[in-house]
Structures are given as C-alpha cells and as structure tokens.
A and B are shown apart, each in its own frame.
Chain A
Amino acid sequence: MISLDRVSFGYDERDTLSEVSIDVPPGSFHFLTGPSGAGKTTLLKLLYLDHLPRRGRLKLFGEDPATLERRRIPQLRRRIGVVFQEFRLLEHMTVVQNIALPLRVAGHRLDDYQADVMELVKWVGLNARIDAYPRELSAGEKQRAAIARAVINSPDLILCDEPTGNVDPEMGARILRLLIELNRLGKTVLIATHDLGLIRSARGGVGARILRLADGRLTLGAAEL
C-alpha cells in the first residue's frame, strides 16, 4: 500500500525527515506519534502527495508519484482520504457541501449518494448542522465534518492528522471506533497523534502498530498494542 525507502524531505536546506523507511501493508492500522514538530504532518504530506520526497523512494498503491504521469496523480489522491490537522474545510460551503465535495470533484452525481451522505452526517452527529458554515461550527464539529469528508468517497487509505485533537474523550472514542470499523472493512488507516490515551483506548479493538518520529527519524514502537 505504502512503502518508503530511505525517504528524506525538508522545507529548507536541512532535512525535516531523514532516511525514513516504512512499509504499510494494505488493511493495516498504524499510529504515528512523536513530539510536536517531529515531522508527523510532514510525513503525511508526502503520503497525500502534497510534496514529493527530496531523496529516496516513495511508493503508493505500487506507483511512484515522482515518475507518474502528472494527470494520473488526481486519481491516486482520490484513493486517499485525509483529515487535515487544521481541517481545511471550504469556508464558503456548508457542512453538507463540504462533506459531499470529494464526490463532486470526482464527477459523481450527488443524487446517487444522498443516502450515504445523510447517513454519514448523522453518524458524525452533524445532522442538525448540515446547513451551517464552518465559521459557525465549534472546533470539534469542524473536526467531525473533516472526518466525514475524508471517508465519503470510500478511500482505500485513510490518513488522519490529530483526528481527536479537538473533541471530548467520548467523541474521540467514537471517531476511533469509526476508523477501526473502516479498517475492518479493509481500509488502511494511519493516524498521526500525540494523544497516548487514544492509542491506549484502541487496545483490544485493533492490531495496530505504532511508529515513532523523533528528530526526523522513524522508529518502530512497541510492535503491537
């Protein structure tokens, strides 16, 4: 699904990530931890093709984005659902419009997906807020809308950047249950978080691996929870 072979990347001359190697098999569940500024978001950016590695080789779904034809990159991105750390909802669209956006961008007829969208909206507890704009939402509500947008298109790979950073433990647990459920359905899930409580609460629910980033280097944490 994902393989990184000694991948390095940096925003300036120094490397933020250096020689990172991992192999994320299809259907697996990973936590990515590490102190603030360690490069968790940066690593996810490489995975959702916001940047290309500076050195080393990245493979996604068996393709190397660095050599892939440019016009095929959107197709690759559609197989990935991303919950951004700062949500990145579109401010001029309502909750339901934001959640349905990946369908629209992929050229689907929204009518065909009405039930799916409404079910997901209800599941993340936003059915009373579908016509609200992001600026009218609490941080936790934005987070839930962002999660719904990430999974609406039924992506093969789900990348979450601090998906429970702004919600109470109960909602955090519900979000985790959704992600575990999606993992059971065969989706590959990778969650960047420094919320150790979240990692602990996943225990028993899923066989997850923990990856630890520090000083730009990746180490494998306790192999299983």
Chain B
Amino acid sequence: MARWFRFARAAEAPPIVPMSGWSAPLTTLASAAMSFLAVLTLIAGLAADRLAEDWRQDLAGLATVRVSAEPEVLETRVMRALEVVRTAPGIAAARVLSEAEHLALIAPWIGGVEALEALPAPRLIDLTLEGDGPDAARLQSRLDRDAPGAVYDDHAAWRGPLARAAAAVGRLAWAATVLVMLAACAMVALAAQATLTAHLDIVRVIRLIGGEDRYIAGAFVRRLALRGLAGGMAGAGLALLALAALPGSGAGGVLGGLLPGTFGWIAIPIAVPLLTAAIAWATARASVRIALGRML
C-alpha cells in the first residue's frame, strides 16, 4: 500500500510543463493590476452614468415662470403667461402654484411667513419640460410681449451641460474598461507565448510521444487561467478596499451616492476576477493553439 502511494505520487506529480521563470509571478501581478484598474474604471463608468441620469431627471421638472405685477393685473398676467408656456414647444405641462405652496417654498429664504404676507408676492408657474426644454430666449420674448413681468427661469438648465459632460465621462470610463480588458488579453497572449517558447523543448518531446494539442494547451491554459483568477481576486479586492478607504465613501458621505450599492460590493469582486480568468483562459488557449498549429 505504501509502495502504491509512493508510485502514484512519484509517477504523476509534476505538471507536464514546469512551473518556473518570471512569467508566472508576472502574470499574476499583471492580472492583479488589470483587475484593479478594471474595477476602478467600471465603478467610475457606473457612477458617471448614474450622475448623468440623475441630472437629466432633475432637469425635467425644474423650470418656473415667475410673474410679478400690480395686484390688480396679477391674475390676468398669470393667465396670459400660462397661455404662452402651454403653447411653447419643449414644455410638457404647466401648473400655477397655490399661494400656500409658494410661501412654503420661499419662506426659508426670507425669514418666516409673517414677514412675507406684507410683500406683494409674485406668483409661480411650475413647468415640466420635455426633451431639451424650450428655447429660453424665444420664450422670454413671447412672455415679455404677452405677459410683461413674467420671467422664465430655467435655474436647473445649467445642469444640462453637466449631465452631458457626465455622460461623456461615463463613455470614456467604459472605453477605458474595454481597453484594460484588451490590454489584459494582450498580456496573457504574451505570457502564453513566453511560457511556450521557454518550454519549447518539452512541448516538442510531448508532441513526439503522442501528446495532442488539446493536452499540451491544457497544461498552459489551466495555469494561466488560475493565475488570472488569483491576480484578479487580489486586484479587485484591493480596488474595493481602496474605494472603501476614500474619505466620504460611507453611506452618508459625499461619495456615498457615487459608489456601488451593496449589490455592487458583492458582485464586482466576483465578476471581475471571473472575467479576468475567463479572458486569461480564452486568450491563452487561442494563442497556444495557434502556436501549436504551426508545428507538425
């Protein structure tokens, strides 16, 4: 029995291609770096997309027309202004705020409702915009003509360019993620070539004693994929730790809304290493098979 164990261990033990050289730790290190970068670009992409979406939605509701006039003509001016905005393109709906709503809105800025009641209060029309909203200059000139004292205020419009910028940043981040993945492919292909070249003598012997391409490729591919997985886990873990350590990354912190939710904290460290390993597997397999295919 003891002899059997000794034989089984002795005859089977080493991989057909030895583990040696620099390409092994370098592959792990490079996978870790790639997955670290991939996590960061991925999260940046998600955050930028979310920010752009939030800002776009804010933009939709936040324009008003403020009408101020002598008390006698105020109601008619408000009705005229309503007429104008209802027929203007880019405005989905318009609604006159009641006096109470209006007071509630501005009271904090003035110092109490009592102080306000004495003032001749303007009236507010709340607008729901659609698309890119109305052309502000044209709308204002129509208001000036039909309802003097009515002022169109798209105070949220400054967010439009921001939303577009955020969307562009998001696209950049996604492009960076894709580039990191491509770089990972190139790196694994190079590592596979280097390993194959370093062990060409062994590969030749194994072929000559009847080893199939699949068998030989498997020896390289399994190892590179495992290294991709190990490096990927380390890199993704470090990236998440680094993000968690950023000031303001807590639930209420300034970055809280930008970082992934609970699902992301669980999904990313699983998905990115698996993706890294899958890339390592597929790339190594393809490049080793191509190289072996050139031999008889």
Contacts and interface: CB of A to CB of B under 8 A. Distances in A.
Interface residue SS majority, chain A = helix
Interface in A87-114: 88, 90-94, 96-97, 100-102, 104-107, 110-111, 114
Interface in A159-206: none
B7 interface: yes
Interface in B1-54: 4, 7-8, 10-14, 16, 18, 20
A57 interface: no
A149 B208 CA distance: 12
B212 A71 contact: yes
A48 B207 CA distance: 10
A97 B14 contact: yes
Contact of B11 (A51, A52, A70, A117): A117
Most buried by B among A77, A100, A105: A105
A118 interface: yes
Interface in B188-242: 201-202, 204-213, 215
A110 B296 contact: no
B296 A78 contact: no
Given A52-B296, A88-B201, A105-B215, A96 B209 contact: no
Contacts of B16: 90, 101, 104-105
B209 A102 contact: yes
A67 interface: no
A114 B10 CA distance: 11
Interface residues of B, number: 26
A118 B3 CA distance: 11
Given A51-B296, A88-B205, A90-B202, A104 B212 contact: no
Contacts of A101: 16, 206, 209
Interface string A26-63: 00000000000000000000001111100000000000
Given A96-B7, A97-B14, A130-B10, A106 B208 contact: no
B15 to A, nearest CB: 9
Nearest to A110: B11
11 contacts: A50-B208, A78-B210, A82-B209, A92-B18, A96-B11, A101-B206, A101-B209, A102-B210, A117-B11, A149-B209, A153-B209
A113 to B, nearest CB: 9
B11 A74 contact: no
Interface in B55-113: none
A111 B8 contact: yes
A224 interface: no
B290 to A, nearest CB: 13
A137 interface: no
A73 interface: yes
